[in-house]
């Protein structure tokens, strides 16, 4: 029995996230089907993260056990014969038996892209949030620095019946807001993320740009442990799982 780690990237625009769902297309379903076409098995595959509908991945990791003897280096090309154009297998390698794509992860990096042009760009629809009001990326970056370190991110998490319990502490290792022409990119790396955490942080930083929240208020919002104190949840369009660390 082998344990294989496969790294893929995907366009999430037409998917309802990674996880298999009833009556909705998912990345996991398409990957499982391609894997079956290659190895003739349907192993229990482990994804590194639960991405939401419309969210993209520049790097997404999957692990599974199999007795198939295909060399790992040949697996990506074999998978890409059967994967849709929206998903591409990038690499594969054998890993230790106890490796788990999700639980062995040491951290992740997300990026959120905001197209700050005055006029909508049709080629960016679904791939970047169109925000036509002027953005001061330096002000947003100064506000973002308050998220660095270990905090309870209850104020920056969507809580439902499945997420009322647990440890809401996470450590943000790096965060920045940068501009390249009309594209503003928010980059955030942490040891883990709560449900909608990145999108709520983005929504809050946009409110600092609007003058509705002062950068110095971020610590108060964190300490409040109250979702209502933070900004709105930004749309999924501009969100990408960018890197996964093991």
Catalytic residues: 52
Tokens found for residue 145: 């620095």
Find out whether 184 and 177 touch, Cβ atoms under 8 Å: yes
| Euclidean distance between CA atoms 175 and 141, whole angstroms | 8
Q: Provide the strand spans (E) within 80-140.
A: 87-95, 107-115, 129-130
Residue 205, token pair as written in the block: 């930083």
Distance CA 225, CA 168 (A): 10
Residue ranges in the chain assigned as alpha helix (H): 27-39, 75-80, 137-144, 197-209, 218-224
Are the CB atoms for 186 and 112 separated by under 8 Å?
A: yes
Q: CA 156, CA 121: separation in Å to the nearest integer?
A: 30
Can you tell me the distance from the alpha carbon of 121 to that of 149, in angstroms, rounded to the nearest whole number?
A: 36
Three-class secondary structure of residue 198 per DSSP: helix
Q: Please answer whether residues 222 and 155 qualify as being in contact, where contact means their C-beta atoms are separated by less than 8 angstroms.
A: yes
């Amino acid at each position: 029995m082998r344990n294989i780690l496969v790294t893929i990237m995907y366009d999430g625009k037409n998917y309802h996230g990674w996880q298999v769902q009833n009556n909705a297309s998912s990345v996991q379903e398409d990957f499982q089907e391609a894997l079956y076409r290659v190895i003739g098995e349907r192993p229990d595959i482990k994804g590194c993260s639960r991405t939401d509908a419309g969210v993209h991945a520049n790097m997404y990791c999957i692990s599974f056990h199999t007795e198939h003897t295909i060399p790992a280096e040949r697996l990506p090309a074999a998978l890409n014969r059967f994967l849709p154009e929206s998903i591409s297998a990038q690499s594969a390698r054998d890993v230790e038996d106890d490796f788990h794509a999700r639980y062995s992860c040491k951290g992740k990096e997300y990026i959120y892209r905001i197209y700050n042009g005055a006029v909508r760009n049709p080629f960016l629809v679904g791939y970047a949030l169109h925000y036509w009001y002027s953005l001061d990326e330096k002000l947003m970056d100064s506000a973002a620095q308050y998220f660095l370190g270990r905090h309870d991110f209850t104020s920056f998490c969507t809580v439902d019946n499945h997420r009322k319990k647990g440890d809401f502490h996470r450590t943000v290792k790096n965060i920045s807001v940068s501009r390249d022409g009309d594209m503003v990119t928010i980059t955030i790396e942490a040891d883990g993320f709560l449900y909608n955490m990145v999108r709520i942080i983005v929504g809050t930083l946009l409110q600092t740009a609007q003058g509705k929240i002062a950068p110095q208020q971020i610590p108060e919002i964190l300490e409040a442990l109250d979702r209502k104190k933070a900004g709105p949840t930004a749309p999924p369009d501009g969100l990408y799982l960018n890197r996964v660390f093991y």
